[in-house]
Amino acid sequence: MDFDTLFEAQIKTLKEEGNYRIFAELERQVGAFPKARSHDPDGPEEVTVWCSNDYLGMGQHPKVVKAMQDAVGACGCGAGGTRNISGTNHQHKQLEAELADLHGKEAALLFTSGYVSNWAALSTLGSRLPNAVILSDALNHASMIEGIRHSRADKVIWKHNDPEDLDRKLAALPANATKIVAFESVYSMDGDISPMAEIVEVAEKHGAMTYLDEVHAVGMYGPRGGGVSEELGLADRITLIEGTLGKAYGVMGGYITGSEPLCDFIRSFASGFIFTTALPPAVAAAARVSIAHLKQSQMERARQRMQVRKLRERLNAIGIPHLDNPSHIIPVMVKDPVKCRQLADILMQDFGIYVQPINYPTVPKGTERLRFTPGPLHSDEDIDHLVMALTTLWKRCAIAHAVA
């Protein structure tokens, strides 16, 4: 059997549907963010990145860069193995203490990514707690869905951001069920924020554990960057808060925080923790400095929110359709996969603007979009250039203007 033929047939279908992903080859340059050097042959040498999850530019902050450089010089590059065998370093323990403090929890546990922390924690909770039932918001991230699936626990889907539907579904469960309510704070594709207080109240009413994914909120919300749960004063009422180091903190890695017994339980039973090589100490050192900085500094968040507000106002003024939400994420709606890809290509090639098209299966068919994430280092001139380019292309592609 010619396996390559099987592979190519499915890739061909993906391309015909307009959902084939093309990666731009960029080179980040310290001190220049959001500018980056492009290595694509058909585009400009320098582009402005408008879709980075390095939301605050901390990946190139001088303090973070120095912390990583110093740790490499002191400790070398790798961790030396899994945490279980030879890979637990002083920097890991320091970072876990920093994270526990960030969320006001007793303990924290590091993972190699936010995807892995969700997958490992949810699969372990669901598989090892007696009579576990995981109630998952309908728009939860793929990592949460995979973790729930892998756990083989009973699963109940509740309507997105609908506490009343959650209440009904919790009430219908048997009395002996161990109930786990899994949801996010900021949903990254639409940029909406969950009604967290109402969800927590419903969960408490039914004696359910709450599992909160704050990956798109840590560093961004709350007086110290503890996320929406900190901003609303709810962190102490949530059983487990999960987050990432790869977005607002500008490095890489994932984590969970909670009680000492909870974190020890996940540490002891999660295969995604036990059997994987630990984060390099230098990454942990840089993350700790980034978190500590954003606990104290409001400048990055304030500047970022100002630039988000400016871009929204400009898009409204010219009638470019974008989802109205209270977060830092601005999805510009195209609603056609082929046009979405075309717009992204032209923005890159003709205007030096890099934004990835978001197509199915990341979002439902018919809701394709360009997802913009303005940051504190985007200048007013960057915004002017983006708005000019979008105005030009919307006319060229004959896409209807509509204020969201």
CB 274 within 8 A of CB 123: no
Whole-Å CA distances, 226 to 54, 64, 72, 266, 372: 16, 18, 28, 22, 23
Whole-Å CA distances, 94 to 72, 99, 110, 287: 16, 9, 11, 10
CB 272 within 8 A of CB 123: yes
Q: Round to whole Å and give the CA distance between 387 and 380.
A: 11
Query: Residue 280 gets which letter from DSSP?
Result: P
Q: Which residues are catalytic?
A: 247
Closest CA to 360 of 390, 342, 340: 340
CB 193 within 8 A of CB 186: yes
DSSP letters of 283-296?
HHHHHHHHHHHHHH
Tokens of 126: 């669901």
- Quote the distance between the C-alpha of residue 34 and its chain's center: 18
Computed over its alpha carbons, how large is the radius of gyration of the chain?
A: 22
